[in-house]
């Protein structure tokens, strides 16, 4: 069998394509975030900034030490955690800035779209309130999105799947960037319902963030506590996008190839209840995952080193027996 031979150095360059894209995307996102924050009067609590900076410093040190000591799996895991942590901090601040500048709310349009699609949320809420055990499962799944990401990064790092880990992180950052940008264009409070009218149904994130969003929009909330940044994106739902990417990433890992998709599915189903999302939020979030993966994989392929040419080979490449 004839195959293209690529040197170890070229493979290392190829494996670094997706992480480089993630760093570039994080840089662009940070610049746009800073530009959006101009004139809004945001202040950062100096005491609360210490914990996240400490975490970022430790992750950067772990990545540097892993790379310099030849511990590749440690390095790839640390870099992935570092990039996702940076994305979370910058992304939430970016979402806050967009909310502070956003125009009229789109809730009535989203609610109308849900009715057109056949979503009867009062009936769904009432039915869910009669199933407390299912609510606990759904609540755990919804609020475990960070844990799902941790499991995916650790599993992929432990298995040495550097390329897939890097692709997943890059796709997650790209999809998250698009999600936040869209939320600024079509802002919404979310599918808010009053939990006091139910026996078992938990307060949704949208219910708990009402004052935060109102404060961002009217200018009364301008102090950023980097230890308690809350996701305020309604449309599209990132809780629908990220589980799909994580399940795709773990599809070949024993013990997770079935667990991850089930975990992701329960998370997505629970998103309207516990996140306070409209049905169209979830649908749009699901629709974002495949394009994000396609874009990142094509960029990665474009940056992949080409096979070494051999003019003596009839195929124009260096022959290798596979």
Structural domain contains residue 166? yes
> Looking at the domain assignment, is residue 36 inside a domain?
yes
Q: Mean pLDDT, to the nearest integer, of 274-295?
A: 96
Judge contact between 87 and 172, C-beta under 8 A.
yes
pLDDT tens digits for range 42-61: 998 888 889 999 999 999 99
In a domain, 8, yes or no: no
Which pLDDT band holds residue 5 (cuts at 50, 70, 90)?
A: very low
Task: Give the separation between CA 2 and CA 281, rounded to whole angstroms.
Answer: 48
Q: Which two tokens stand for residue 70?
A: 């030849």
Q: How big is the CA angle at 67 (ends 6 and 163), to the nearest 5 degrees?
A: 45
Mean pLDDT on 25-31 = 95
Tokens for 121, please give them: 């949320």
314 part of a folded domain? no
Q: Report d(CA 138, CA 273) in Å as an integer.
A: 9
**Mean pLDDT for the chain overall:** 87
User: Do the Cβ atoms of 111 and 278 come closer than 8 Å?
Assistant: yes
Which comes out higher in pLDDT, residue 97 or 231?
97
Residue 68 in domain:
yes
Instruction: State how far Cα 245 lies from the chain centre.
Output: 8
Q: Among 51-60, 74-83, 122-131, 309-318, where is mean pLDDT lowest? A: 309-318
Q: What is the pLDDT of residue 40?
A: 93
**Radius of gyration of the CA atoms of the chain, in A:** 22
Q: What is the mean pLDDT of residues 292-309?
A: 74
**pLDDT > 70: what percent of the chain?**
88
Residue 10 included in any domain: no
Report yes or no on 156 lying in a domain.
yes
Q: Is the peptide bond before 74 cis (omega within 30 degrees of 0)?
A: no
Q: Which domain holds residue 38?
A: 16-302
Q: For 161-185, write each residue's pLDDT tens digit.
A: 988 999 999 999 999 999 999 999 9
pLDDT at 197: 86
- Is 308 domain-assigned? no
Structurally, the chain folds into a number of domains equal to 1
């Amino acid at each position: 069998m004839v195959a293209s031979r690529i040197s170890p150095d070229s493979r290392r360059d190829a494996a670094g394509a997706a992480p480089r894209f993630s760093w570039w995307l994080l840089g662009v996102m940070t610049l746009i975030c800073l530009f959006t924050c101009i004139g809004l009067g945001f202040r950062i609590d100096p005491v609360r900034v210490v914990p996240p900076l400490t975490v970022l410093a430790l992750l950067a040190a772990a990545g540097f030490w892993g790379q310099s000591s030849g511990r590749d799996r440690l390095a790839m895991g640390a870099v992935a955690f570092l990039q996702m942590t940076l994305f979370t901090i910058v992304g939430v601040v970016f979402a806050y800035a967009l909310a502070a500048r956003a125009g009229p709310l789109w809730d009535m349009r989203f609610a109308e779209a849900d009715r057109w699609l056949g979503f009867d949320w009062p009936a769904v809420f009432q039915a869910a309130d009669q199933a407390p055990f299912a609510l606990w499962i759904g609540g755990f799944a919804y609020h475990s999105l960070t844990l799902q990401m941790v499991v995916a990064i650790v599993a992929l790092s432990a298995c040495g799947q550097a390329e897939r880990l890097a692709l997943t992180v890059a796709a997650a950052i790209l999809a998250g960037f698009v999600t936040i940008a869209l939320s600024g264009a079509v802002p919404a409070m979310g599918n808010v319902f009053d939990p006091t009218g139910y026996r078992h149904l938990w307060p949704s994130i949208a219910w708990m963030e009402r004052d935060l969003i109102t404060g961002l929009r009217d200018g009364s909330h301008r102090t950023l506590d980097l230890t308690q940044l809350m996701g305020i994106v309604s449309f599209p739902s990132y809780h629908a996008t990220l589980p799909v990417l994580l399940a795709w990433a773990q599809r070949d890992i024993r013990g997770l190839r079935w667990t991850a998709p089930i975990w992701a599915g329960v998370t997505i189903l629970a998103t309207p209840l516990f996140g306070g999302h409209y049905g169209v939020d979830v649908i749009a979030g699901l629709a974002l995952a495949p394009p994000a993966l396609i874009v990142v994989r094509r960029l990665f392929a474009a940056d992949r080193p080409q096979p070494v040419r051999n003019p003596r080979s009839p195929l124009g490449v260096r022959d290798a027996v596979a």
